[in-house]
Amino acid sequence: MDDACLETQRVVSETYDGAHVDPADIQRARMHCTSCDECAAFVSALAEVRRLRDPAAPESVINSAFAKVAEERRRVEAQAATQAAAAAEAEAAARETTGAAEGGAAMAPLFRWLSERLERMPRWAVYAGYAAGGVAALFVVGVVMLQGARYIARPQESATDQDVFYVSPQGAGTAESGAPEDESSNEDRAAEADVAAESAAYVTVGQWVYEFVGIEDSQPANTGKIGTTTSALDTSSAPRTLDVLAFGDPESVLIVDGERILRFELVTRSYRGKAYAMQSRAVSAFDQWPSLPDSYLEPEQDDGSPTFSRVGSDDSRVPIYTVEGADPLENGFAIGPDTAADDPAAGNPNWTWWEPVP
Amino acid sequence: MTAVHGEDERDLVDRAKEGDEEAFETLLRAHADAIYAHSLRFFGDPVAAEEAVQEVFVKVFRSLPTFDGGAAFSTWLFRVTRNTCLDMFRAGKRRPIPVDPVDLATRTTPDHADWVIDAAAVEHAMRALQPEDREALSAVTVFGLSYGEAAAALDVPVGTVKSRVFRARRTLVSVLRPTGGDT
């Protein structure tokens, strides 16, 4: 086969697809086919293939697919009904609150009645009543001032120590805000100041991401191993493989590291009333942020392209993204970096991926 | 299946987006063969193809409100179908059945003069194509996309679509040729 054959067959192929082809090229291809058995056979074969119909979907396949759609429609309608009922309940609760406020207006006749009674009382009795009320008010003011003075006189805890967690690599860590601690614990805290609330403290079990939430005093009964994780459990040690234990709460796990029992929780967010959990490549130290699993390329643009395109927002109005044509409800979605402080992915400079909680 | 095109299709899409069940059914019935053919050629297995058709229908039901009409409905549907098959494959739910070249050889008439291709032989030959060539051919011949639309759907240049379709056709003809004939 020479270049003329290749060119002829290319022209035939493109003509078959309705593409614009130069009429002179078509004419040349026709001429070529009259003298080339190879290309004539190619044209015949294409015509033969084209004569045959593509496989048609059997009626049973179409019907079963529509049955699935009907099932899905019922599910969506039921979910919408549940949400509507919840909204109605919330509205009713709001009305009750408003009703309570309106109850104040209902008290007006009582005040009118009291006022009328006061007007009819002897003047001395009215003055005596005012004097008793004044004494009671002075007593209340005195008590409040005394408590305030005692509060001001008490030494204050450092505001910077509040609401931070800390896990000592040597053990005996704590994660309570403003809780009294011994001196050695405070020294450890100073030495590990870099492990503060702003930094990441995650582990991955499989691809699921769990966030450190605290230290347990003792290991609960009925724990069971559900997997392993490889983590340093701090920012400086070498990562090691550790058993991950479940203990009844489906969204929490425990990791026993020597004498420490660390509790982690699945990182989740809600989309259309359904819980989705974060997935990531392996995270092996506490200063690492979760990122997209290996199966997704890192987007090049802020709008998620070329990997993702935006498909809507989650229940907290955070934009969600997914691969073209995929269904976020079923297959999950991506969240962009740098979300708000109250977001489950807050502080993360990476794109993250979220899938339905199994 | 009844083919719907142009304005009719846009009207059906608009009505289906508004919740018109009849329009939704008409729209998907018109495209069911294409979805099935693509899925069957992807997996080589009618059971997997049936599952894929179900998934595609449900995905279209869920995602149609997000279809903005920027591209033709068939282009969007091709993307949904292609991604559904790929997702099923990635999720390990279904795997394409490998094609046996020996089986291919016995499905063509050994005599040049009597060269008749049957549909089963074509389907087997389709399975012998490179996946990227097969999906380009599917986009153009099964879903009826132009080269430009197929290029957009596959996220490759138009020239790449042209060469993939051409290579797919040459491979098909080569595989379907009577055994013993030169290629």
pLDDT tens digits along B140-169: 999 999 999 999 999 999 999 999 999 999
Q: Which CATH class is domain B99-183?
A: mainly alpha
Q: What is the C-alpha to C-alpha distance for residues B83 and B154, in angstroms, rounded to an integer? A: 10
Of A36-45, A182-191, A219-228, A230-239, the poorest mean pLDDT is in A182-191
Residue with tokens 């001032």: A145
Q: Nearest Cα to B176, choosing from B105, B99, B97, B103? A: B105
Q: What is the C-alpha to C-alpha distance for residues A289 and A294, in angstroms, rounded to an integer? A: 15
Please, what is the average pLDDT of chain B? 84
Q: Which of A9, A52, A323 lies closest to B83 in CB terms? A: A323
Q: Which CATH class is domain B1-97?
A: mainly alpha
A285 alpha carbon, distance to own chain's centre: 21
Distance from CA of B22 to the nearest CA of A (A): 11
Q: Which of B29, B62, B140 lies closest to A329 in CB terms? A: B62
Pair A316, A338: CB distance under 8 Å: no
Long-range contacts of A125-130 (CB under 8 A, 24+ apart): none
pTM: 0.51
Report, as an integer, the average pLDDT of A100-105: 57
Q: Assess B53–A contact: CB distance below 8 Å, yes or no.
A: yes
Of A32-46, A87-101, A278-292, the poorest mean pLDDT is in A87-101
Pick from A10, A13, A44, A308 the residue to mutate for testing the B interface (most B CBs within 10 Å): A13
What integer pLDDT is reported at residue A193 of this predicted model?
Answer: 39
* Domain range annotation of chain B: 1-97, 99-183
Q: Could you tell me which residues are beta bridge partners of residue A211? A: A202, A265
Q: Assess B122–A contact: CB distance below 8 Å, yes or no.
A: yes
Residue with tokens 């270049």: A3
Highest mean pLDDT among A235-244, B24-33, B113-122: B24-33
Pair A16, B165: CB distance under 8 Å: no
Chain B residues close to A323, C-beta within 8 Å: 83
Element (H, E) at B166: helix B158-176
Q: Assess B61–A contact: CB distance below 8 Å, yes or no.
A: yes
Q: What are phi and psi of B44, to 5 degrees?
A: 70, 25
A85 alpha carbon, distance to own chain's centre: 25
Pair B154, B71: CB distance under 8 Å: no
Beta-carbon contacts of residue A160 (< 8 Å; ≥ 6 apart): none
pLDDT of B106 higher than 80? no
Share of chain A above pLDDT 90, in %: 22
What integer pLDDT is reported at residue B53 of this predicted model?
Answer: 97
Say whether the ipTM exceeds 0.90.
no
Q: Which of B57, B115, B169 lies closest to A66 in CB terms? A: B57
Of residues B21 and B120, more confidence is placed in B21
Q: How far is residue A169 from each of residues A67, A177, A257, A285, A286, measured CA to CA in Å?
A: 56, 19, 10, 12, 11
Q: Assess A295–B contact: CB distance below 8 Å, yes or no.
A: yes
Q: Assess B76–A contact: CB distance below 8 Å, yes or no.
A: yes
Report, as an integer, the average pLDDT of A292-314: 85
Length of chain B (residues)? 183
Give the number of other Cβ atoms within 10 Å of residue A317's Cβ: 8
Of residues A151 and A132, more confidence is placed in A132
pLDDT band at A51 (very low <50, low <70, confident <90, very high): confident
Distance from CA of A44 to the nearest CA of B (A): 9
Measured between CA atoms, the residue of chain B closest to residue A67 is: B54
Q: Assess A136–B contact: CB distance below 8 Å, yes or no.
A: no
b/e code A220-249 from CB counts within 10 Å (16+ = b): eeebeeeeebebbbbbeeebeebebbbbee
Measured between CA atoms, the residue of chain A closest to residue B149 is: A19
Helix axes A59-106, B21-43, angle to 10 degrees: 130
Helix ranges restricted to H, chain A:
3-16, 23-35, 37-51, 59-106, 108-120, 123-153, 183-191, 328-331
Q: What is the C-alpha to C-alpha distance for residues A295 and A305, in angstroms, rounded to an integer? A: 15
Q: Is the fold of B1-97 the same as that of B99-183?
A: no
Please, what is the average pLDDT of chain A? 78
Beta-carbon contacts of residue B144 (< 8 Å; ≥ 6 apart): B34, B74
Highest mean pLDDT among A129-138, A242-251, A321-330, B72-81: B72-81
What integer pLDDT is reported at residue A64 of this predicted model?
Answer: 95
Report, as an integer, the average pLDDT of B101-109: 48
pLDDT of B114 higher than 80? no
Residues 26-65 of A with CB under 8 A from B: 41-42, 44-46, 48-49, 52-58, 61-62, 64-65
Q: Assess A315–B contact: CB distance below 8 Å, yes or no.
A: no
| A62 contacts B53? CB cut-off 8 A | yes
Length of chain A (residues)? 358
Q: What is the C-alpha to C-alpha distance for residues B36 and B51, in angstroms, rounded to an integer? A: 10
pLDDT of A198 higher than 60? no
Three-state DSSP at A351 gives coil
pLDDT of B92 higher than 90? no
Q: Assess B73–A contact: CB distance below 8 Å, yes or no.
A: no
Pair A342, A269: CB distance under 8 Å: no
DSSP state of A231: E
Pair B62, A274: CB distance under 8 Å: no
Q: How far is residue A28 from each of residues A43, A350, B62, B96, measured CA to CA in Å?
A: 14, 56, 50, 41
Q: What is the C-alpha to C-alpha distance for residues A195 and A257, in angstroms, rounded to an integer? A: 18
Measured between CA atoms, the residue of chain B closest to residue A72 is: B58
Of residues A68 and B114, more confidence is placed in A68
What integer pLDDT is reported at residue A184 of this predicted model?
Answer: 47
Residue A78 φ/ψ region, left for φ over 0, alpha for ψ in the -120 to 50 degree band, beta for the rest? alpha
